[in-house]
Amino acid sequence: MSPIRPREVSLHGHKLSYVDSGSGQAILFVHGLLGSHRNWRHLVDRLDNTNRVIVPDLFGHGASEKHEGDYSPSAQAATLRDLINRLDIDRVTIVGHSLGGGISLAFCYLFPDRVERLVLVGTGGLGREVSPALRAATLPVADWVLPVIASPWVRGGAELVGRGLSLFGWRASHDIRAAWEGFTELSDADARRAFLATTRAVMNSHGQTIAAHEYLLELAELPVLVVWGTNDMVIPVDHAKRLGELAPECRVEIFDGAGHFPHLDRPDRFADVLRDFMATTERGEGPPAGSPPTGGSADRTARRQARTRSPRPGDSAATREDRPA
């Protein structure tokens, strides 16, 4: 695997780190909570020989700035739009994992003309259910507990236990390794603040609060691929089935035995499925024959104009499409 060399760009005065590799049709990968471009590193070498692969660290994550601004999905979606504008990319196939799936759905809703296809991987926003550990981060006590459990001496003890277990043949799953990789960054106060702000923007102690699946009602012409692992302990695989019922024209791929990071557990299969999906779909195909009518182009245009005039509650002004006509 060749080394990945992130670049930097300043967007509205804040530093954003991203990977830009290859040429061809653009694929924009969006990581989840506590993630970074490293969550997609196994896909870059597999895809950048035929595609231009863009992999940002979302604000508040990885090497990007942990500012005190808006961390809602709509604000993050606007940042992604600003990034592809800066890179002179007109349209992308957007691939979102977990929180990144909810952000990707918001991107498609807010900027539909910038998307060729949508890929959702163990995505958030399709139901209330989510890991109790993430729900706990929304509680007020997390502001005091998180600095303790993310402190060097606690992390050092956990690493010591892990090394001891490895002597007996234990090997951490990709889920555990990816989660630990993100958790280690929470020793930084700015990273903790961004993590808590991001978490509380999409969930509370009862579960997820963003109903991103509503966006799908506006995406009748957009090809959608859903990938999920049967052993996902963060967001249950039942959400994939729920999405299949809501939007039966979606393609659903279930990876047996994979966890919350099926693209890490089965990178070759994931790359093959993504290539096939891109090769066999294009924007504007619409639902299969026999599906109920979803409205003509005039109806879709009217809905988009209405969104521009009246953003959804909670959307920041920065999310509105302001590109020149």
Active site residue 23: no
DSSP assignment of 166-201, as one string? Answer: HTTT----HHHHHHHHHHGGGGSHHHHHHHHHHHHH
Catalytic residue among 98, 174, 175, 265: 98
The Cβ of residue 159 has, within 10 Å, a number of other Cβ atoms equal to 12
For 62-146, strand residue ranges (E) read: 92-97, 115-121
pLDDT confidence of residue 304? 42
Residue ranges of domains in the chain = 7-130+207-319, 134-202
| Least confident among 121-135, 146-160, 309-323 | 309-323
Name the more confident of 95 and 242. Answer: 95
Catalytic residue among 232, 239, 265, 315: 232
Is 50 exceeded by the pLDDT of residue 257?
yes
pTM of the model: 0.81
Active site residue 97: no
Active site residue 260: yes
Catalytic residue among 260, 263, 265, 315: 260
Query: 212: which DSSP letter?
Result: G
Is 80 exceeded by the pLDDT of residue 170?
no
Is 80 exceeded by the pLDDT of residue 271?
yes
Q: How far is CA 276 from CA 59, 251, 270, in A?
A: 31, 11, 10
Q: Which CATH architecture has domain 7-130+207-319?
A: 3-Layer(aba) Sandwich (3.40)
Query: 146: which DSSP letter?
Result: H
